[in-house]
Chains A and B, each alone.
Chain A
Amino acid sequence: MLEVKELTIVVNGATVVNRSSFFIPNGKITAMIGESGSGKSMTVAALLKILPAGANTSGEIRYKSANLLEATKEEVTAIRKNEFFTIFQDAMNSFNPSIKMDRQLYAFSAGRIGEDHTTYRKKMKDILGKLGLSADILDRYPFELSGGMLQRCMIACALYVKPALLIADEPTSALDKVVQKEFLKWLRLLNENGTTVLLITHDLDVVTGLADEMIVMQKGEIVETGTVSEIFSRPTHDYTKRLLDSRF
């Protein structure tokens, strides 16, 4: 699905990601794990081509036939709009606080695929219902909803557009354990509907029972990759061992 080869990211002279290579297999949930500052979010920013000013990249990010690092702005925008969906860490910050949810959810879902508002209202109400949300949230402002409800709204949009790849950057770190569990359930549902998921997290508990594949990052480098069961049963790198030990 998506292959990263020798990716290096230098921001204002500091190497934040160093010659990282990994592969995200189609139809699977891949978890990228590592402590804060290990380069996970920078890698995601490179995948989405939203790196901060002053960042230089080298290597390859291959999605289908395109190298995203060399693709034009229009090509990348088309891929982000039609193939990818991103869920960021803080759902409260993902929505414009002064615009009602209806308009924003439309823009994140039906608006992207060119569907009219009437069709959207009907379909979105169904999806929200499945996620345990009442349709009247469409007429509310984001600051009237909880973080968990807003993350579910994001999932609703993803269920609506059925993206090829969902990138979730620390989506559960602002949620309590109960809501977190619910959220992961919906992530699994999305995956069962055919969406490949790249889950960025520093929480090993999130990976357990959800992810199929795992990429471990430390200080800007990929130190271990493999299936979750392989890595959990036979970790080879010291950092991975320490990470696994820290769970108990």
Chain B
Amino acid sequence: MKTRKNLVFWCSLLGLTLVLTLFSDVLATHPVNEMDLDAVYAPPGEGHLLGTDHLGRDVFSRLLQGGKVTLTVAGLSVALSFAIGVIYGGISGYVGGWTDSVMMRILEALISIPSLIFVLAFQAIMQGGMWGMTVIIGMTGWFTTARIVRSEFIRLKDAEYVKMAKMFGTPAWKIITGHLLRNSMAPLFVVTIYNLAGAVFIEVSLSFLGIGIPPSVPSWGNMLYNAQNDILIGAWWIGLFPGMLIFLTILSINFIGEAMKDSGRGRFHA
């Protein structure tokens, strides 16, 4: 019961953030790149709900638009890593034998290299903007998904209902989608939720370091990057609000993952 209440609370919080960012075009009070040079470093108050930055841009509007960019990059990159992980882990687990051994050794080698090195290498090659970042995070975030899919497929492929499906000549793709993948969804969903939190964190981190989303596009990471010097002159609002949203978003996603993990435990017993 407590798990369910937690789930509802964190889902509501994340849902509110999603709605606010999704409808940023409607909810924004100012154009995101509009500069009001008469109101540079204006503190939160009338006219600018959450104040303005060093160029007089409205923090509230940029926060909503930045959230849209950050969450879009995170969401799409997780979808990409999910697809790659399912295909890679699925082939490895379903085919088995030496194919599995070779694929798993490659995966272990990839996992042993810190993902930041991959991300920096890809970023150097692609020098990507928003879409480039999506591809980079997606291409480097599928390792755990692949391992989960592989282990679930190995566990499930010896289940008697899978044997029966094979006996009746059911095509492999139907067995994979209808039996193996379908019954792997509970752990996969949990790992994907955690990957989403990780993707938000990577986007924010890279943008904060100045190697992520280009400065012209507002994102939560970019806003933090720009706020570094502003904090020193007392403009706390420029960094505080994106920081709070990043914190709450990652926290919500992680707690949703935890709650899903608890509620899913014991329900599926294939």
- A residues contacting B by CB (< 8 A) are 48, 50, 53, 74, 77-78, 80-81, 86, 88-90, 92-99, 104, 107-108, 112, 143
* Residues of chain B within 8 A of A88, CB atoms compared: 160, 163-164
B159 contacts A by Cβ under 8 Å = yes
A128 to chain B, nearest CB (A): 19
Q: Roughly how many angstroms separate A23 CA and B169 CA in the complex, as a whole number?
A: 27
| Inter-chain contacts of B183 with A (CB < 8 A) | 96-98
B residues in contact with A96, CB < 8 Å? 161, 178-179, 182-183, 270
Q: Given A77-B168, A80-B168, A95-B161, are A143 and B269 also a contact pair (CB < 8 Å)? A: yes
User: Is there contact, CB below 8 Å, between B182 and A98?
Assistant: yes
Contacts of A104 in B (CB 8 A): 161
Query: Which residues of chain A are within 8 angstroms of B169 by Cβ–Cβ distance?
Result: 74, 77-78, 80-81
- Given the known interface contacts A50-B166, A96-B179, the answer about A90 and B160 at a Cβ–Cβ threshold of 8 Å is yes
Q: For the complex, is B128 an interface residue (Cβ under 8 Å from A)?
A: no
Known contacts: A98-B183, A99-B182, A143-B269. The answer to whether A80 contacts B167 by CB under 8 A is yes
Interface residues in B176-205 (C-beta closer than 8 Å to A): 178-179, 182-183, 185
A104 to B167, CA, bound (A): 15
| Number of B residues, CB within 8 Å of A | 20
B154–chain A nearest beta-carbon distance, Å: 13
27 intermolecular pairs with C-beta atoms under 8 Å apart: A50-B166, A50-B167, A53-B96, A53-B97, A74-B169, A77-B167, A77-B168, A77-B169, A80-B168, A81-B169, A86-B164, A88-B160, A88-B164, A94-B160, A94-B161, A94-B164, A96-B161, A96-B178, A96-B179, A96-B183, A97-B269, A98-B182, A98-B183, A99-B182, A104-B161, A108-B164, A112-B168
Interface residues of B (CB under 8 A from A): 96-97, 159-161, 163-164, 166-169, 178-179, 182-183, 185, 267-270
Report the Cα distance A74→B168, complex, angstroms: 10
Nearest A residue to B266, CB-CB = A143
Say which residue of A81, A89, A90, A93 sits within 8 Å of B168 (CB atoms): A81
Number of cross-chain contacts by CB at 8 Å = 57
Task: Give the residue of B161, B182, B185 whose beta carbon is less than 8 angstroms from that of A93.
Answer: B161
- Secondary structure class of chain B's binding surface, majority of residues: helix
**Chain A residues with CB below 8 A from B270, complex form:** 93, 96-98
B contact residues around A93 at 8 Å (CB) = 159-161, 270
If A77-B169, A81-B169, A93-B159 touch, whether A98 touches B268 (CB-CB below 8 Å) is yes
Q: How far does the alpha carbon of A148 sit from the alpha carbon of B160 in the complex, in Å?
A: 17
In the bound complex, how far is the Cα of B268 from the Cα of A104, in angstroms?
17
Alpha-carbon separation in the docked complex, A230 to B31 (Å):
94
Cross-chain contact A86 with B268 (CB below 8 angstroms): no
Q: In the complex, are the beta carbons of A92 and B269 less than 8 A apart?
A: yes
Instruction: Provide the bound-state CA to CA distance between A78 and B168, in Å.
Output: 8
Indicate the member of A88, A93, A94 with the most B CB atoms within 10 Å: A93
20 additional A-B residue pairs with CB within 8 Å, beyond A97-B269, A98-B185: A74-B169, A78-B169, A80-B167, A80-B169, A81-B168, A86-B167, A88-B164, A89-B160, A92-B269, A93-B161, A94-B164, A96-B178, A96-B182, A96-B270, A98-B182, A98-B183, A98-B270, A107-B168, A108-B164, A143-B269
